Amino acid sequence: MTRHSKIAVAALLATLWTPFAPAATLDLPRASFLGVQAAPVSDEARARLRIGSAEGVLVAGVVAGGSAEAAGLREDDLLVAVDNQPVTDPGQLVARISPHRAGDRVRIRWLRAGETRDVELPRTQAITDPKLFQLLERSTPVIQVLPSGFGYADLDRLQAGEVDKMFETIKGTPAVIFDMRGYPNGTAWSIAPRLTEKKNVVAALFSRPILQATDLTDSELADSARYSFAQRIPERQGDVYKGKVVVLINEDAISQAEHTCLFFEAATDVTFIGTPTAGANGDVTVMVLPGNLVVSFSGHDVRHADGRQLQRVGIQPTIKAAPTIRGLVDGRDEILDAAIKFLQGRKS
C-alpha cells in the first residue's frame, strides 16, 4: 500500500470510517475513534428496522477490538446521542468523538429494537498510533506458492532480476496471482512474453498530436498530423507459464502499473480482480506556471491493443472486490481472498 493510501486510510479512521466529516473537525495528533462504520439513515433502513421518525446515525459496521464492540454495539443499531448531545448525521458524530484523546470517556446512547440503551466507554486509540499503520503494510513474501497451491508475486516489490526466480517458484502451479496494487519495477517486459506462445503481439497503441504554433487556429483546436505506433511484447526468454493468470488491481495502480496490465492482457486471458485503476498512463510533460505551480500532464493517447480507451477510464476489474474496514482491522487481504475464491471456483 502506498504512502498516499495510508494517509487516506488514516483520515478514514479519523472520521469514524465515514467520508461525511469536514476536515476542520480533526486534530490528528489527538483524534480518536470508537470503531464503528457510520452511515446516514436511509428510508430503506427506517422501514427495515422500524425506527419511524427517530433521528440518529446508523451503525453500518463494528470494528473488532474497538470500544464499540466491547460495549455491545452491533450493526443496525441507531446512535442517537454522544455525551447527551444529539447526533443526526455522521459528520456530527465525528465532531463529537474525534477532538478528544484516546482513552477519554464518552457516553453513548443508541436504539435497538425500540429500546434505548446508554453506556459509557473509552475512545479507542489515536489514529496516529503506529500500530494502525502496521495493519496496512503488505507483509507477504514477494514470491510464493500460497497454501491454496496458487502462485503469487507482488509486482510492487518484485525486481527485474527476480523474474526468473519467480517463474521457477510458480512453475507447475495451476494459476498465478500477480499483485499489481502499487508501482512495478519494469518487470512487464520480461514477464509478459512468458505468458504466451504467440509472437509479434501488440500490447498497446500510442498516438500523440504533432503541434506547432503555426498549426493552431484561433480556437487552438486545429487538426494536425499525429505520431502513432503500436508497441509489441518483446521476444520470449524462457519457458511459457501455462496456468491461469489473475491480476489484483486498485487505485494505486497508475502509469507503468496500468501498462503492465496492458502487456498481460495482450499476452493471455487475464482476470482482473479489485477496483479500477487510476486511468493515467503515458509519457509525462512537466511545466511550471506563474506562482511556481507545477503541472504535469500526458500528451500521449495510450489505448488497449484493441483500441479501447484507457486514460481517464483505467483498467476495469473483471470481478469487483474492495477492502472493508473490518477486513483491514482483522489484517485480512480481501482482494487476494476474492482471487483465491475465484480460482477455487467458489462464490464470494
What CATH number is associated with residue 215? 3.90.226.10
**Which residue carries 483465491 as its cell?**
340
Q: Among 68-82, 96-110, 293-307, where is mean pLDDT lowest?
A: 96-110
Measured between alpha carbons, how far apart are the two ends of the chain, in Å?
23
Percent of the chain with pLDDT over 90: 47
Query: Comparing 63 with 274, which gets the higher pLDDT?
Result: 274
Residues 96 and 207 in one domain: no
In whole angstroms, how far apart are CA 119 and each of 32, 62, 86, 116, 225? 18, 16, 15, 10, 71
**Structural domain total, the chain:** 2
Q: Answer whether residue 59 is part of any domain.
A: yes
Q: Answer whether residue 348 is part of any domain.
A: no
**Which residue carries 506547432 as its cell?**
212
Q: Would you give the DSSP letter of residue 141?
A: -
Containing domain of residue 35, as a range? 3-132
Threshold 0.75, pTM exceeds: no
Q: Answer whether residue 301 is part of any domain.
A: yes
| pLDDT given at position 3 | 42
Contact by Cβ (8 Å): 106, 97? yes
Reported confidence tier of residue 154, pLDDT bands at 50, 70, 90: very high
Q: How far apart are CA 141 and CA 15, in angstroms?
A: 32
Reported confidence tier of residue 219, pLDDT bands at 50, 70, 90: low
- b vs e for 174-198, b when ≥16 Cβ sit within 10 Å of the residue's Cβ? ebbbbbbbbebbebbebbbbbbbee
pLDDT at 207 over 60: yes
Q: Answer whether residue 237 is part of any domain.
A: yes
C-alpha 32 chain-centroid distance: 23
